A and B are shown apart, each in its own frame.
Chain A
C-alpha cells in the first residue's frame, strides 16, 4: 500500500512548521493534503481546462443555434401571415420545430439532458468533453434564441423598412442592419447567459467528466478534507466570472461609444 499523507507528513514538512502549535500545523497539513500530496493541484488544472473548453464550445454552438432559431421565429412572427405557398409552408414547419426545441430544452433540467445525451444517445462515445459540449450547446442555444429574438423584435420596424427601401433583401437587411442593432441591445443579457453557462457546466461531473467542480469534489473525497478544495474551486469560478464580466463591460462601452 502507498503511504498516505499522514505517514509522509513528518518527512515533507519543514521543521519550522512541525514546531508550530498543533492547530496551526494542522492548517498546513490540510493544505498539503488538498493541493500537494499526489500532485493533486493537477486535478484542478485539468478541471479548469475542461470547464473552459466546455464553456467556449457550448457558447459558440449556442450562439449559432440561437441566431438561427431566433431568425426563424422572428421572421415567422413578423411576416408569416403575409407569406404564401411553399415558402410559407417551409417557414411554418421550421417555426414549429423551433418551438418544440425551445419547449423541450427549456422545460427539462440540463442534468437530465446531459445524461440522456451521454448515456443514451451517444452511449458509444467515450469523448466526454465533446458530448457534454454538445449537450450544453443545445441547451444554451434555446436561451440564446429567446434573448436574440427579443433583440430583433425591439429594433424599430423603420430600420427594416429603410433597408428594404434601399433595395436590400430580407436576409441582407437582417445581416447589415437589424442583427447588429439587436445584438448590441441584448449584449448584457447574452453576457449573463454566458456566465450562467460557465457555472452550469459544473454538472458535467454527473457523467464523470473532470470539470472544475468535479475536481474539487474528487480531491475533497480523496483527501477526506473538503474545506480547502471546495473553497479553491469556488474562488476559481468567482475569478473567472469576474474576469468575463469585466471583459463584457469593456465591450459594451466600446459599442456604446460608437453612438456618442
Chain B
C-alpha cells in the first residue's frame, strides 16, 4: 500500500507541478538569469582565453545556482501539505486507503523529479555549447556530473525539509519562509558557528559534526572537484529520510489520541 500510495501521489503531484504557473515562473526566471550569466561567461572565456576545462565548473558556480538551491526547494514544496490543509483536501487524501508514508514519499519524489527536470536543460545547453559557433571544444563532463549529483542531493534534502515544513502549517507562505530560512541556515551557519565556538572547535566530535554539516565546504572540496564521497552521499540520503520521517510523524500525529 506504501508503494501504491507513493506512485499514485507521485504521478498526480508531478502533473500538478507541470501545469502550475509557479513552476513555469521559476523556470523562466532561472533560464533568463542563467542565459545572461552564460553569455557573460562565454564572453569572458573568449576574451581572456580561459582554460575550457574549467568552463563547465564555472557554469554552475553562479548566482542562479544559489537561487535554485536556496529558493526553489522552498517554493516547490510550500504547497505540498499546507495547500491540502488550507483547502481541506487533506481530509479526502488521508481518509483514502493509503499510508501516510506513501503519500509523503510520493510528494517528495515528485518535487525531486520536477527539480531534476528544471536542471536538465542547463546540462543540454552545455552540450550544445560544444558545437561550432560557440566554444567548438569538448568539455569535461565528469566534474559536471559529480557537481550536479552533489547539488541534486543537497537540494533533495532541502526539498525533504520543505515537505516537512509544509506539513506543519496551513499557511503556504509561512511554509516557504520556514523552508527558506532553514536552507539558508544550513548553508551558512556551520561556518559561522565553527568560527565562534573558539577552543570547542578543537574537540574531535564538535569538529567532525561541524565539518559534516558544513555542506558548502564539503561541496567545494568534493563534488565541485568531480569527486564523489560516499559518506557525503549517505549524509544527504540520511537527511532526506530523516525529514521524510518527520513529515510522516507530523501527519500521523493527527491520528494519535
Please say whether chains A and B are actual partners in one complex.
no
